[in-house]
Amino acid sequence: MSENLPNDPLVTLLDRLVENNAALVGAVEEIALWIDRQNDPQTLAQIQQHLGAIRANASVVQETLGELADRAALRHEEDNED
C-alpha cells in the first residue's frame, strides 16, 4: 500500500505502523515455532491467543487505513482545485 499513499503524514505514519506490526507478527510467529519445538504448549497457546487478536483486527486496520488514504487523497485534490 505504501507506494499509493497520498502525501499525508498521518496516513504515512499509520501505514508504517501497519508494516511494523506485520514484521512483529512474523517475528513472534518464528518464536512460537521455536517454543513449539521446545514442547511448551502453555506458552505456545498464550502466544497463539495474542496473535489471534492481532489477526482478528488486521482487516479492520487495513480497511481503515485505506479509507484514511482515500480521504487524504480527496482532500489533496480539493486543495489543488482551489
Residue 80 has pLDDT above 70, yes or no: yes
Residue for grid cell 515455532? 33
Query: Tens of pLDDT along 25-79?
Result: 999 999 999 999 999 999 999 999 999 999 999 999 989 888 888 888 888 778 7
CA atoms within 13 A on the CB side of 81: 6
Residues 6 or more apart in contact with residue 73 via CB below 8 angstroms: 6
Any idea where the domains of the chain sit in the sequence? 9-80
> CA geometry: angle at 63 spanning 55 and 5, to 5°?
115
Q: How many Å apart are CA 50 and CA 44, to the nearest integer?
A: 10
Identify the three-state secondary structure at position 8: coil
Q: What is the pLDDT of residue 24?
A: 95
Q: What is the pLDDT of residue 52?
A: 95
pTM across the whole model: 0.73
